[in-house]
Amino acid sequence: MPAGTVPARAALALGLAGVVLVLAAAAAAARRRAPAADGAVFCDAGGVLSRGPRAGMSPRLLHAAPPVAAFDDFLDGATCRRLIALAEPRFERSHVEGRAHAERTVSDERTSDSAMLHEPPASTDPAVLATLERAARLLDAPVSHLEPLQVVRYRPGQRFGVHHDSFADVRLGEGQRVATLFVYLNDAQPEAATEFPRLGLAVSPRAGTAVYWCNLRADGAIDDRAQHAGRAPRGGVKYGLNVWLREKPYGR
């Protein structure tokens, strides 16, 4: 059939539309991976998985899509013990955050204790600075995009029910929590797992292991599959550490 006939033009148009779609998808993916002009960062699981070994941390893929990875050698024992020691005198009843970060309330859904390491001398302790630097290296983000470290403690029966780390309504300059690194600071009972009910995944707490996941989809929408819970130990105590990556620099 000669070029220029109606079916040929239709095929050409379809082909062009396909190319445009592929290019648009590639451009969108690149926009989400590269730091934006305003310094915003996004979750990049592929980058984290390949960067880990270069930064001396071996990933264990716990779930493929969406990716959830464990880095068993994220923190050494001495750093874990130092972070617990810094947190002990600072623990208070944990809060849950409302639709935006500023709204904080006590809830039966979160009965653990939390300690913020956001003020000197804790915030300038070498263990805190080294942990922030290590997380920033793994995430390939500036330390300024990390929230101050938050240590959590669960005594027997204390728990954090199923929740999501990102906010339904983000009005603050630091933007959304795009990714979470949750680090176990001690070996706790397997019952005290971090559970992802939508993924059929439960991670047992082992000292020094960091679990990484994205809270948002590639288009920036909240990824419901990242819902998770901190289960209660039946005996002993579980210590963990939240390292949250924000889209934009976090106001300290």
Q: State the nearest-atom distance from the C-beta of 117 to ligand AKG, in Å.
A: 14
Does residue 228 bind ligand AKG (CB under 6 A)? Answer: yes
Hey, what are 76's tokens?
């050494």
Q: Does 160 bind ligand AKG (CB under 6 A)?
A: yes
Residue nearest to ligand AKG (CB): 230
Q: Could you say which of 59, 230, 233, 249 contacts ligand AKG (CB under 6 A)?
A: 230
* 182 lines the binding site for ligand AKG (CB under 6 A): yes
Q: Total binding residues for ligand AKG by CB under 6 A?
A: 9
Nearer to ligand AKG, 32 or 228 (CB): 228
Identified binder of ligand AKG from the candidate list 87, 242, 243, 245, rule CB under 6 A: 242
Residue 201 CB, nearest approach to ligand AKG (Å): 12
Q: Where do we find the tokens 């209660």?
A: 232
Sequence-separated (6 or more) residues with CB below 8 Å from residue 6: none
Euclidean distance between CA atoms 113 and 110, whole angstroms: 9
| Residue 176 near ligand AKG by CB under 6 A | no
214 lies in the site for ligand AKG, by CB under 6 A: no
Residues forming contacts to ligand AKG in the complex (CB under 6 A) are: 152, 160, 165, 182, 194, 228, 230, 240, 242
